[in-house]
Each structure stands twice: as structure tokens, then as C-alpha cells.
Amino acid sequence: MIGSAPTFSVSEFVAAFNQVLDFSFPEAIVVGELSSLRISKNTWVYCDVKDEGATLKCFGSVRALPGPLEDGMVLEVVGRPYLHPQFGFSLNIVAVKTVGQGTLKRAQELLLKKLSAEGLFDESRKRALPYPPESIALITSKSSAAYGDFMKIIGRRWPCLKIELVDVLVQGAEAPEQIIAAIQKVNTDFPSVEAAVIIRGGGSAEDLAAFDHEQVVRALASSRIPTLVAIGHERDTSLSELVADLRASTPSNAAEILVPDIEHEKLVVGRMHKELSSSLDEYIGALRREQANYSDSMQDLVGRKILAEKDAQKVFAKLLKASDPRLPLAKGYSISRSMTGSVLRTAKAARQEKEFIIEYSDESITVRPDPSIRKEKS
């Protein structure tokens, strides 16, 4: 021990130094310009952040990045200071945020180009939202003006809509992680919701940066539930809006396109009811007229049929009368029948009968042929 300075082994010094860091600076935010960016195996990120007077090495997972980055961008890095036993001092990355108008715009351009190449913004991927939905999940900050505006308009336009609120931060370093978790929660815990709606009011480019975060955009793209996103003012366009199935210009506009106006729908239904009632009355009237015409036609047809049948009966009666074998008897003719009723058509047939009947117009007589005559003739 030299003077009052403590003596450590190298390992002891690294461990003691990290304990001091954990106690004094468990987490720090460092702002600087990105340089020497390197991605290893699409998993680990190595880079430096620097200013005019110093350079700080950083290390972390690519999932902590908001999207594609390039040297020269200004970053706000949230990290944990750490002295590695082999690789020296670095800032272990917890989260990264791009800052400065130029940097934010360039980061958005890089991510837009990357995700467009993957087809995440293609119109063919877009799904229709049910209109109107019965139930939705609303992902936003409950304390925001956007939430108040959205609920006010929904309450006025379509108060029967069921809303499952998932309260999240919508800006800051923790916002992306919370939004991603909310999207996953909606897809797993709310099987009955028909749409996921994400809203946030206006703000600076840095305030809206969470909705240009790569992992947030990918979470929206992979949602099994159709999505509606409205971020900022009408002039603002985030990547989350581009990947959503439906985009609204503002949170208020999201409420307007999500559900119809109930008062307008009442007027439409009332008008349709009147039109249907009028059409039904006309249809019933037409059926009654058709029924009356049909009834008249049937009566006329039946009447003609009855007359035709009567005429046919008269003709048949005349024919029947004309064919009556008794009719010639009135003119002096007679009919000879055997005792069994068969007609005797010849004299020979009559002689062969012991007795037979002769019918006249007024009566019948029984005749017994003279046996001598029958023998003489035979």
C-alpha cells in the first residue's frame, strides 16, 4: 500500500469500480454523434458516440435501436456504464433515440427504405376494418388530449362501441417498448376485439419518434388484428401509419372514420323505413288487384266451363235418347227376348225357345211357340 491508496488486484479493481458505477450511475443518458457503427451477426451493435472533446464506446443489442442508423447522426443513448474485464470501458445500450431534425428525418428515410424493400407498406397487405366494429382496443396515453378528443367523438357518434383501453407512454425512451407490449397484449388477451387503434396528438419530430421505431412498426405489421393508426397532425406521417391497415390524419379523424354518426344513421333508417313501407303498400295493392283480376278470370272461366258442360249434357241426352232401344217400339216395332233377357234376332232362334217375351211400347207378353210348328219347321 502506497500512502493511503488501497491496493487491488486487476479483477478486484474492475469489480469495485463497477460497484461504484452501479451505485453512482446505474443508468445514464449520453448525447453525441454516432461514429464507427458496426453490426455483428445482425444481433449485436458496436459503435462510438463522440463530441469535440471525447469518444465513448457503446455496445448493445440491435433490438435497442430505433431503426437503421448511419455515422454522423446525433443520438441520445440510454445506457449502463460498465468496465469489462477484457474489453475495457463502454456504455451498455438500453435504448437509443435519434435527436435533431436532420437526424430524425434521415433515420426515418433509412428505415422507410429498408421496410419498403421487405414489402411491409404494400397495399396488398392492407386489410379492411369492420364498419362499424362492435369492439376495439385503444392504445394510447389515458392522460393525453388525443384520448379525450377520441372518446368525446366516439361517445357522440357511436356510444355503443365497446373500447378496451391499453394505457401506454406515447413519447420518450420507454414508449416504444410499452407500445410493442400493448400490441402483443391486444393480440393475445383480447380475442373479441375487431380492431387495434393507436392514437397520439401532435408534437415535435422528437415527440413522435416512438412511432418511427423499427420494432414498433414490425409489431404493427405482424398484428393479427386489423390496425388503425393516427399520429400527430394531418401534416405528420409516421412509419407506423404507413404500415397500418388504415391511417387517419388525426385522432379525431380516426374516431370519425371508425364509426358512423348515429344521428345520421337514424335519419337514413327512418327514410328507408318510409320507402320500404311505401313499396310494401304498393306491392300489396298490386297483389290485391292481381288477385281480383284472377278471381274475375276464374269466375268467367268456370262459368264458361259450366255452360259447356251443360251443352255437352244436352247433346249426350239427345244421343242417349236416340239410341234407346225402346224408342222404335212406339212406332209399332217389338223386341223378342229369351226368358234370360237376351235378344232373339231370328225366327229360328225364337222357335228354339220353349217360351219367350215380346216387348211392345206399352207392355210385354210371354209367348209359347206351337210345338207342331217348331217340329214342322225343323
Backbone torsion region of residue 88, taken as left when φ is above 0, otherwise alpha when ψ lies between -120 and 50, otherwise beta = left
Q: What percent of the chain has pLDDT over 70?
A: 95
pLDDT at 354: 83
pLDDT at 337: 84
> Domain for residue 270, yes or no?
yes
Give yes or no for residue 1 having a pLDDT over 60. no
Q: Are 143 and 200 in contact (CB under 8 A)?
A: no
Residues 82 and 162 occupy one common structural domain: no
The total of other beta-carbon atoms located within 10 Å of residue 29's CB is: 13
pLDDT at 378: 43
Backbone torsion region of residue 318, taken as left when φ is above 0, otherwise alpha when ψ lies between -120 and 50, otherwise beta = alpha
Residues 156 and 220 occupy one common structural domain: yes
Residues 162 and 88 occupy one common structural domain: no
Which residues partner with 40 through β-bridges? 44
300, 323, 346 - which closes a domain: 323
The amino acid present at 121, given as its one-letter code, is F
The total of other beta-carbon atoms located within 10 Å of residue 84's CB is: 13
Spatial CB neighbours of 252, under 8 Å, sequence gap ≥ 6: 149, 150, 153
Average of per-residue pLDDT across 47-51: 94
Q: Which residue has the cell 298490386?
A: 286
Residues 248 and 334 occupy one common structural domain: no
Give the length of the chain.
378
90-143 pLDDT tens trace: 999 999 999 888 888 899 999 999 999 999 999 999 999 999 999 999 999 999
Residues 24 and 88 occupy one common structural domain: yes
Average of per-residue pLDDT across 59-63: 95
Residues 284 and 371 occupy one common structural domain: no
Radius of gyration of the chain (CA): 54
Residues 34 and 90 occupy one common structural domain: yes
pLDDT at 373: 61
DSSP state letter for 361:
S
Structural domains in the chain (count): 4
Residues 289 and 249 occupy one common structural domain: no
pLDDT at 15: 93
> Domain for residue 120, yes or no?
no
Alpha carbon separation from 88 to 8, 32, 57, 219, 222 (Å, rounded):
17, 20, 9, 35, 39
pLDDT band (50, 70, 90) for residue 346: confident
Rounded Cα distance between 199 and 233, Å, is 11
pLDDT at 221: 97
Average of per-residue pLDDT across 208-227: 96
249-295 pLDDT tens trace: 999 999 999 999 999 999 999 999 999 988 998 999 899 888 888 88
Residues 252 and 275 occupy one common structural domain: no
Of 25-29, 191-195, 329-333, 343-347, which gets the smallest average pLDDT?
Answer: 329-333
Rounded Cα distance between 166 and 330, Å, is 116
Q: Please tell me the pTM assigned to this model.
A: 0.66
Give yes or no for residue 374 having a pLDDT over 60. no
Is pLDDT larger for residue 327 or for residue 230?
230
Residues 271 and 358 occupy one common structural domain: no
Q: Smallest Cα–Cα separation from 18: which of 82, 76, 111?
A: 82
Residues 165 and 214 occupy one common structural domain: yes
> Domain for residue 191, yes or no?
yes
> Domain for residue 157, yes or no?
yes
Domain that includes residue 239, residue range: 131-260
Q: Smallest Cα–Cα separation from 45: which of 95, 120, 105?
A: 95
Give yes or no for residue 188 having a pLDDT over 90. yes
300-335 pLDDT tens trace: 888 888 988 888 888 888 887 777 666 677 677 788
CA 356 to chain centroid, in Å, comes to 100
Residues 145 and 166 occupy one common structural domain: yes
Average pLDDT, the chain: 90
pLDDT at 3: 61
CATH number, position 225 = 3.40.50.261
> Domain for residue 207, yes or no?
yes
Strand order in the sheet with 135-140: 162-167, 135-140, 195-200, 227-231, 246-247
Q: What percent of the chain has pLDDT over 90?
A: 65
pLDDT at 377: 46
